[in-house]
Amino acid sequence: MTEKTPTPPNRQDPHLDPADDTDEPAFDWMKPAGAGAGTAAAAKGSIPAEKTSPDAGKDQPAASAGTAAPQAGSRADRKAAEAAVEPAPEPQGRGTHFREPLPTSALQVRPPQDEVERRNAERELAANTKPVLPRVMQVLLAVFYPLILLVLAVRAVTSPLFLWVEYNRPGFPGDGYGFSTDDRMTYGSYAVDYLSNWSGPRYLGELVNRSGDALFQDGEVSHMADVKLVILSAFAGGALLILLSIVAIVYLRRRSTGGVRRGLFAGSIVTLVVILGLGTLAALGWQQFFTEFHRIFFANGTWTFALEDTLIRLFPGQFWVDAGIVIGALVLIASVITLILTWPTRKRRGIAKDVVAKDADSSNADAAEAPSKDSDTGTAVRPDAAPGRARGNSAAL
């Protein structure tokens, strides 16, 4: 038989465990440390009497001093012998120690009823309570929205396009000191550009007219510098509010269904209230409104000029009236459009018509199936019950 000879299919594996104990360690060093004496005693007790006779060891060679005696019996027999040696557990009495129950036994103990009700109430409160941060984001979006619209409307007015429309519209008052429409457009464009660029006061202070004289006086240049500071601050604040509003919108789209719509809807209502209030005040007294507005942002005496000064010739009173009307109209139109687009209709709230119809039908069905009382006997009678059966029941009762 060579290595390439196939193994016979009916060949049985050799029996290598003479003690028939599959759990018995193969070597002595793999056995527990304290198992030698106990196993030896168990082995002595399990050896039959005829094996312990003096003639039993004559034909067998003597074991060396360093070699352990072979162990008889299986592991199950040794465990049984060890269990027999262990003392029996003492019964629990007055002098015995108390044994704590297993940790899992506490799961079978039901808490008191008041504790169960308290836990259920806390769970229900936690399930019904809405998070605070989405509400804060909605409030911020509602507050920022009118301010953003106002800043955008002011930016639309402080542009050369609005300046050209004003100077060329019919009915706009002309200059009584010699400025033509082209002169106004040229000089006015310098003033409007100065409000949105990063140039210093020299941008306007070094301008001259056709005769070579300075176009703007020092007081006019100083006031335009103050106006520029207010305008740039408003634009920077508007840009910051737009950034914060974008963050709020992104958060609400991920964490609150319909949160963006509710925030913009509330913001449009606030915008309408504010713009209508300011428009009413301006319509009742424009001069008083214009004066109080300048007193808020500028020091007294720095914003009043003579009729022949360049700022008054370029931007007369009618210009500011038209600018106020345009700002109010732009904000009003934007808020109305937002109000229409975010109006809480049934579809936008996620309530379908068929769901409402099903709810109405189910409520009607429940009302129809509710038992009514007989007027004669006071017994409950279902509406779908037969009249004869109902009468029979009432008669029987």
Q: Half-sphere exposure of residue 23, counting CA atoms within 13 Å on the CB side?
A: 7
Instruction: Please give the pLDDT value at position 247.
Output: 94
Residue 291 has pLDDT above 70, yes or no: yes
Residue 362 has pLDDT above 70, yes or no: no
Give 292's pLDDT tier (boundaries 50, 70, 90): very high
DSSP string, 161-180: HHHHHHHHSTT----TTS--
User: How many C-beta neighbours within 10 Å does residue 74 have?
Assistant: 15
Residue 36 has pLDDT above 70, yes or no: no
Residues of the chain above pLDDT 90, percent:
46
Question: Which of 66-75, 80-89, 147-156, 251-260 ranks highest by mean pLDDT?
Answer: 147-156
Cα–Cα nearest to 173, from 271, 341, 320:
320
The pLDDT tens digits for 296-345 are 999 888 898 999 999 999 999 999 999 999 999 999 999 999 999 999 88
Distance CA 28, CA 67 (A): 10
Instruction: Determine the residue type at 232.
Output: L
Instruction: Please give the pLDDT value at position 195.
Output: 92
Q: What is the mean pLDDT of residues 247-271?
A: 92
Give 147's pLDDT tier (boundaries 50, 70, 90): very high
Find out whether 325 and 169 touch, Cβ atoms under 8 Å: no
Q: Which residue has the tokens 């509602």?
A: 142
Instruction: Please give the pLDDT value at position 165.
Output: 94
Instruction: Please give the pLDDT value at position 375.
Output: 43
Point out the least confidently predicted range of 13-17, 205-209, 250-254.
13-17
The pLDDT tens digits for 92-130 are 555 555 565 555 555 556 778 888 888 888 888 877 777
Q: For all residues of the chain together, what is the average pLDDT?
A: 76
Cα–Cα nearest to 75, from 115, 46, 110:
46
Give 364's pLDDT tier (boundaries 50, 70, 90): low
Residues in the chain: 397
Q: What is the mean pLDDT of residues 239-265?
A: 93
Measured at the CA of 214, the angle between CA 208 and CA 216, to 5 degrees, comes to 105
Find out whether 138 and 252 touch, Cβ atoms under 8 Å: yes
Residues of the chain above pLDDT 70, percent:
61
Residue 376 has pLDDT above 50, yes or no: no
Instruction: Please give the pLDDT value at position 84.
Output: 67
Phi/psi of residue 66, nearest 5 degrees: -90, 0
Instruction: Please give the pLDDT value at position 3.
Output: 53
Distance CA 151, CA 327 (A): 9
Find out whether 162 and 329 touch, Cβ atoms under 8 Å: no
DSSP string, 115-181: HHHHHHHHHHHHHHPPPHHHHHHHHHHHHHHHHHHHHHHHHHHSSHHHHHHHHHSTT----TTS--H
| pTM for the predicted model, two decimal places | 0.59
Q: What is the mean pLDDT of residues 73-92?
A: 63
Instruction: Please give the pLDDT value at position 105.
Output: 52
Query: Is residue 250 within a helix (H) or strand (E), and if so which, with residue range?
Result: helix 218-255
Instruction: Please give the pLDDT value at position 211.
Output: 85
